[in-house]
A and B are shown apart, each in its own frame.
Chain A
Amino acid sequence: MSFFKSAWVALRSVFVNGRAEDELQEEMAFHLDMQTQHNIEQGMDPVAAKKQALKTFGGAEKLKEDCRDSWGARLVMDLLRDLKLGFRRLKKNPGFALVAIISLGIAIGANTAIFSLLNAILFQTLPVPNPEQLREIRFVGPLLNTSQVRGSSTTLPDGRKDTNAMNHSVFQQLQKSAAKFGNVVGFSRIDSVQARMRGEIFTMGGMLISGNFCEGIGVGAILGRTIRPEDDVVGAEPVALLSYSFWQRQFNGDSNILGELITLNRTGFRVIGVLPLGFDGPQHGNEEDLYVPLSSQPIIQPELELADDNHWWIWVMARLKEGSSDVQLKGALDYALEASISEDRYIRSTASKSGESVTGGGLGADDPKLIVLMDETDRYHDRLRSILIDGSSGSRNRGRTAATPFLFMLTAAGVVLLAACANLAGLLISRSVSQEHETATRKALGAGALRLVRQGMTESFLLAVLGTGSGWIISVWGRAAILQALGSVSQADGLSGKTDYRVFLFTTLLTFLAALLFGLLPALRSLRIRMMDALRTRPESRAGRVFVALQVCLAFLLIVGAGLLIRSYVNIQNINPGFNLDKLLVFQLNAKNGGYEGAQKLDLYQRSAEAIGAIPGVKSVAVSDMPLLANSVRTVGSVKVLDNPEIEKGNLLALDVTGNFFLTLEIPILSGRVFEATDVPDSEKVVIVNESFARTFFGERNPLGKQVLRGAKTIYRVVGVCADTKYNRIKAEAKPMLFFPITQASTGRFDLRRAWIQVKTELEPLALVPAVRQAMATVDPDLPLNNVKTQSIQMNETIFREKFQSILLVVFALMGVFLSCIGTYGLMVYTVSRRTSEIGIRKALGARSGQAIRPIFRSSLFVAGIGLFIGMLVVVPLGALLRDQLYRVEPYDPLTIGVSISYYF
Chain B
Amino acid sequence: MATTPNDLLQGTLGLLVLRAIRDERRHGWGIQQRINQIAQDALSVNQGSLYPALIRLEKQSLIKSKWGTSEAGRRAKFYSLTAKGRRQMEKETEIWKQFSDTIDLILQSI
Contact = CB atoms under 8 A, between A and B. Distances in A.
Q: Do A and B come from one complex?
A: yes
Interface of A: 1, 6, 9, 23-24, 26-28, 30-31, 33-35, 38, 56-59, 62-63, 66-67, 69-72
B48 A31 contact: no
Interface of B: 27-29, 32-33, 46-48, 51-52, 55-56, 59-61, 70, 74-77
A23 B77 contact: yes
A72 to B, nearest CB: 8
A6 B51 contact: no
Contact of B51 (A1, A27, A59, A72): A27
B51 A63 contact: yes
A30 B60 contact: no
A71 B57 CA distance: 11
Query: Is the contact region of chain A dominated by helix, strand, or loop, or is it mixed?
Result: helix
A69 B76 contact: no
Contacts of B75: 26, 30
Contacts of A26: 75, 77
Contacts of B51: 24, 27-28, 63, 66-67
A59 B55 CA distance: 18
Nearest to B70: A30
B61 A1 contact: yes
Contact of B29 (A6, A35, A59, A67): A35
Contacts of B27: 27, 30
Contacts of B76: 27, 30
Contacts of A66: 48, 51-52
Contacts of A1: 59-61
B97 to A, nearest CB: 26
Contacts of B33: 38
A34 B29 contact: yes
A63 B48 contact: yes
A34 B27 CA distance: 11
B102 to A, nearest CB: 31
B74 A30 contact: yes
B99 to A, nearest CB: 25
Which secondary structure dominates where chain B touches chain A? Answer: helix
Contacts of A33: 74
A588 B55 CA distance: 83
- Max chain A C-beta neighbours (<10 A), residue from B29, B56, B61: B29
Nearest to B57: A70
Given A27-B76, A30-B27, A71 B47 contact: no
A662 to B, nearest CB: 91
Contacts of B52: 63, 66-67, 69-70
A5 to B, nearest CB: 8
Nearest to B44: A56
11 contacts: A6-B59, A28-B51, A30-B74, A31-B29, A34-B29, A56-B46, A56-B47, A57-B46, A57-B47, A57-B48, A66-B48
Contacts of A27: 27-28, 51, 76-77
Nearest to B76: A30
A58 B61 contact: no
Nearest to A34: B29
A63 B55 CA distance: 12
Contacts of B29: 30-31, 34-35
B45 to A, nearest CB: 11
Given A24-B51, A26-B75, 13 more contacts: A6-B59, A27-B77, A28-B47, A30-B28, A30-B29, A33-B74, A35-B29, A57-B47, A58-B46, A58-B47, A58-B48, A59-B48, A70-B52
A767 to B, nearest CB: 81
Contacts of B28: 27, 30-31
A33 B74 CA distance: 10
A69 B55 CA distance: 10
Contact of B56 (A35, A38, A59, A70): A70
A70 B53 CA distance: 8
Contacts of B74: 30, 33
A213 B106 CA distance: 84
A63 B47 contact: yes
Given A26-B75, A27-B28, A30-B74, A71 B55 contact: yes
A36 to B, nearest CB: 11
Contacts of B46: 56-58
Minimum-distance CB pairs A-B, first 4:
A34-B29, A70-B55, A58-B48, A66-B52
Nearest to A2: B61
Contacts of A59: 48
Contact of A9 (B32, B47, B59, B70): B59
Contacts of A58: 46-48
A9 B58 CA distance: 11
A9 B77 CA distance: 19
Nearest to B62: A1
B26 to A, nearest CB: 12
A70 B48 contact: no
A98 to B, nearest CB: 44
A31 B32 CA distance: 10
A666 to B, nearest CB: 88
A413 to B, nearest CB: 47
Contact of A67 (B55, B60, B70, B77): B55
A1 B77 CA distance: 23
Residue in A26, A38, A59 whose Cβ sees the most chain B Cβ within 10 Å:
A26
